[in-house]
Amino acid sequence: MSKRPNFLFIITDQHRADHLGCYGNPIVRTPHIDGVAARGRRWERFYVANPICMPNRASIMTGRMSSLHGARHNGIALSRNHTTFVELLKDAGYRTGLIGKSHLQSFTGLPATNRFKPQPGLRTPSRRLRDAYKNNRHSPDYDLEKSSTWDRPLAERLDGDFYGFDHVEIATDHGDQASGDYLLWARSKYPGFDNLVGQRNALPDNRIHAPQAWRTAVPEELYSTSWVADRTEAWLGERAAGAEPFFLQMSFPDPHHPFTPPGRYWNMYDPAEIALPASFGKGDLPPIRAMREAMRDGTDPRDNQNPFAVTANEARALIALTYGSITMIDDAIGRVLARLRDLGLADNTVVVFTTDHGDYMGDQGLMLKLLLHYQSIIRVPFIWHDPGAPADGAVERGLASSIDISATILARAGIQPFNGLQGRDLLSTEPPAAIIVEEDSQRTMTGFDRPQRVRTIVTDRYRMSLRQGEDWNELYDLQSDPDEVVNLYAVPGASAVRSDLTETMVHRMIELQDRAPLPAYRA
């Protein structure tokens, strides 16, 4: 193990832990990911630091909580002033590449809903003094992933690396609406590509009737999942003859909604054979009641990023389509792993698999994500296979977090972490007594009349979520109630548990306070 290892870091988007065969799913077919787990080890209780795309991806990159790196919710880019673990790998001589979804910066270009509002009767500060940060990430340097202005490859628009990646080929957005470098490539391969994408160009299908689902006209070979695999294979081929070790992030935009698996993956799974989650239709929290009422009244558009309620048939259909997307990803991973073997790289490449967050996917009768920290949202897969230290399918049951990924990779690469990195090396340290999940929203959603701030603690037995400005909170006994249906927070008999969890939460949050920057002097 003296030779420095390569790393293939595979990340999907919006992929709950139990949507893999190796995590106990009896229907979805993921033989290649399952094979990685069988040769390595998987974490049974791995949690996100934040259950939203941009914040948790930034936490993976920095090994820090979103309250520290500042990308608290979608729409706030990761500052280039924050050190990433990829920069440390590059600094140590690694070749670094990112192929697929980045989402360290915003890609929609839509105006923010939470903006500085001048107050009548008071002098409005100058524009540069309206934020606590003078460099508030609103400059053109943070518009590099903006889809509407993507007229040439990102690599040609960069001055230096991209958060430590010296090779970038980026896909923004999701489903058959993916954009960025991927879209430039697809248009070059098929000049009429724009006439294949989106619901307006969808192929006819009378089998699926569910929100944000259409049978895409994009063929499998032009779909973003295939592009990610194709470009990954090409990059690995270029690295095979090199003397430097490499770190490559292979990042799939799927299985995130819209639900548009192409070709044979569209009808690979029959909705009639999909079992509903045990918690479907259960749960009585105020926003869940509001979403169900909005579905019945037809007042919830169900066509955006906000969570929404679904019928049983809609849930089965969307789960079936999600399984199709996941199997397509698994097939793409199988191609890449075969390429690693053919190039003679497999014996020295650590393969890591995870995702950025989960999806309700029918739990409590909901779809998508945001603000309700059920296990389906905050618990995600994490798989590690090191050919230099095979684990033969070991299962780790201690608590772990997305902030631990960077520390674990750096430790295996033999690189000291930077000051302020909060994660732990999963392979050489004991798990904590609790993990913390943070979430802040920028906009209101069905069932809420204001943006939300939520903090969650998860222990071996319990999950407790506290929120600002609401008269209700959540507490679940995960041993007796794994589906999180019975909220114990206001039950008098649970007061002692609530008190203990609150104290543990405070201690853990103190531990997660910032230790950067380093002091220049003693005083």
Please tell me the predicted confidence (pLDDT) of residue 486.
97
Let me know if residue 345 belongs to a domain.
yes
Total structural domains within the chain: 1
Q: Which value, to the nearest 10 degrees, does the dihedral of the CA atoms of residues 262, 264, 267, 269 take? A: -110
Mean pLDDT by 10 residues, the chain (523 residues): 87 98 98 98 98 97 97 93 98 98 91 87 93 90 92 95 98 96 98 96 91 97 98 97 95 98 97 96 94 94 93 97 98 98 98 98 96 97 96 97 98 98 98 97 88 96 96 97 97 96 98 95 91
Please tell me the predicted confidence (pLDDT) of residue 207.
84
Let me know if residue 125 belongs to a domain.
no
CA–CA separation, 460 and 479 (whole Å):
9
Let me know if residue 500 belongs to a domain.
no
What secondary structure letter does DSSP report for 404? Answer: H
Structure-token pair, residue 67: 């309250």
Domain containing residue 272: CATH number = 3.40.720.10
Please tell me the predicted confidence (pLDDT) of residue 2.
58
CA–CA separation, 257 and 369 (whole Å):
11
Let me know if residue 498 belongs to a domain.
no
Cβ atoms within 10 Å of 485's Cβ, excluding its own: 15
Strands 41-43 and 474-477 turn out to be unpaired
Let me know if residue 441 belongs to a domain.
no
The helix or strand, by DSSP H or E, that contains position 42, with its residue range, turns out to be strand 41-43
Please tell me the predicted confidence (pLDDT) of residue 474.
98
Let me know if residue 390 belongs to a domain.
yes
Q: Which residues pair with 456 in a beta bridge?
A: 437, 465
What secondary structure letter does DSSP report for 145? Answer: T
Let me know if residue 486 belongs to a domain.
no
Domain span including residue 352: 6-111+139-432
